[in-house]
Amino acid sequence: MSQVASAGHHVDTGTVLLEASHVTMRFGGLTAVNDVSLVVHPGEIFGLIGPNGAGKTTFFNCLTGLYKPTSGEVRFAGELLPPQPRLVVRAGMARTFQNIRLFHNMTALENVMVGMYTRTKTNAIDAVFRLPRHRREEVESTERARELLAFVGLTASADMLSRNLPYGDQRRLEIARALATEPKLLLLDEPTAGMNPQETRQAEDLIFRIRDLGLAVLVIEHDMRFIFNLCDRVCCLVRGEVLVQGSGDVVQNDPRVIEAYIGSPAEELPSTKPATPEPGTEDGEGPADA
């Protein structure tokens, strides 16, 4: 299925859009991400997988400026990215979160309009006195927000408070808000978490359509069928380190990836006693991670 889905698009492998070089993130004595390097090309869908505690979200946070890496660097379109989320967004990267972060007392339309704040030129004086520039940008922002809601399938929900939307619609609304920042690269942190099979298929179709707009996509996901159907390349993290990366076929058939998810056969284990989890890896991604 991945071959069919990918057959009609072009990945510019001669150009690097995002480059993470030897990124390491430590929290005290815990190394959550250790010497991770990868590149994402324009027009590519790149998957990031790994068991709980692998450091996936911590790595995302390093890419998007929420964390300043202990060492290593992140470049976007050849420029070094500062560890400041607003500047990262202005550079052309936008993300969603594993736990939905919408403004629940705002409508769906207003949530998307918030995403445009880094691209508008209106200042406080313009807004207070409703000067022509503010009124013009308000009209343009409203029109663009409605276009994005239509793109993700939420036209009828524009005036609903986001807290009243079904779970799957909230996920799509968060993607629409991210698209409102006019990104070149969209980072999605478990976009199908909590979704039923129909919603998952809709999410897959939406990501393909985003890619077809010319955007690159970097996605974290635990649903292996979803990730291997979707992605041009996949990277597997285990205990904060790159285990393997390459095409979907290469990664999903690597015995180390299988072992990372389901463990070694019982006869190979040194003991039948339950293993003691490493600090910071129980049911999560370590500090501030999932």
The pLDDT value given to residue 124: 63
Identify whether the C-beta of residue 150 lies closer than 8 Å to the C-beta of residue 98: no
For residue 134, what is the enclosing H or E element? Answer: helix 132-151
Identify whether the C-beta of residue 161 lies closer than 8 Å to the C-beta of residue 107: yes
Three-state SS at 20: strand
Domains assigned to the chain = 1-84+183-278 (3.40.50.300), 99-182 (3.40.50.300)
Burial of residue 109, with CB atoms counted within 10 A of its CB: 0-12 exposed, 13-18 middle, 19 or more buried: buried
Q: What is the pLDDT tens value at each position of the chain, 290 positions in all? A: 333 334 446 677 789 999 999 999 999 999 999 999 999 999 999 999 999 999 999 999 999 999 999 999 999 999 999 999 999 999 999 999 989 999 999 999 999 999 988 776 676 666 655 667 667 778 888 999 999 999 999 999 999 999 999 999 999 999 999 999 999 999 999 999 989 999 999 999 999 999 999 999 999 998 889 999 999 999 999 999 999 999 999 999 999 998 888 665 544 444 444 444 444 444 444 444 44
The pLDDT value given to residue 250: 93
Euclidean distance between CA atoms 79 and 60, whole angstroms? 18
Instruction: Return all residues near 165 (Cβ < 8 A) that are at least 6 apart.
Output: 108, 154, 157, 173
Q: What is the DSSP string of 53-109?
A: TS-HHHHHHHHTTSS--SEEEEEETTEEPPS-HHHHHHHTEEE--SS----TTSBHH
Bridge-based pairing of strands 45-49 and 185-189 is: unpaired
